[in-house]
Amino acid sequence: MALPPSGTTDEAFMREVDEEYRRDQAMQIFRRYGQLIVGAVVVALIALAGWLYWQHHSQSQAGKQGEGYDSAMRLVEQNQTDKAIPALDKIATDSGEGYAAMARISQGNLLLQKNDIKGAAAKFAEVANSTKYEQPFRDLALVRQTVAEYDTLKPQVVIDRLKGLTNPNSPWLGSAGELVAAAYLKAGNKAEAGRLYGQIAQGGDKVPESIRQRAVQLAGVLGVDAIDQSKETKAK
| pLDDT tens by residue, 136-181 | 999 999 999 999 999 999 999 999 999 999 998 899 999 999 999 9
Higher-confidence position of 104 and 82: 104
Q: What sign for the dihedral angle of Cα 79, 73, 177, 235?
A: negative
**Lowest-pLDDT choice from 23-37, 163-177, 182-196:** 23-37
pLDDT-derived band at 68 (thresholds 50, 70, 90) equals confident
- In angstroms, the CA 31 to CA 207 distance is 22
Q: What is the pLDDT of residue 85?
A: 79
The arithmetic mean of pLDDT across residues 73-89, rounded, is 78
Residue 187 dihedral angles phi and psi, to the nearest 5°:
-80, -5
Task: Look at domain 49-148 and name its CATH class.
Answer: mainly alpha
* C-alpha–C-alpha distance, residues 211 and 173, integer Å: 10
CB hemisphere CA count around 88 (13 angstroms)? 24
Residue 50: what pLDDT? 64
Q: Among 62-71, 127-136, 140-149, name the one with the lowest average pLDDT.
A: 62-71
Mean pLDDT is lowest, of 72-76, 175-179, 190-194, for 72-76
Those residues whose C-beta lies under 8 Å from the C-beta of residue 115, and which sit 6 or more positions away, are none
Q: Could you tell me the pTM of the whole model?
A: 0.67
Q: How far apart are CA 215 and CA 95, in angstroms?
A: 40
Q: Locate the domains of the chain by residue range.
A: 49-148, 153-236
pLDDT value of position 4: 47
* Band of residue 16 on the pLDDT scale cut at 50, 70, 90: low
Q: How far apart are CA 39 and CA 172, in angstroms?
A: 15
d(CA 130, CA 33): 33
Q: Look at residue 234 in the predicted model and tell me its pLDDT.
A: 45
Percent of the chain whose pLDDT exceeds 70: 67
- Work out the number of other CB atoms within 10 angstroms of the CB of residue 122: 16
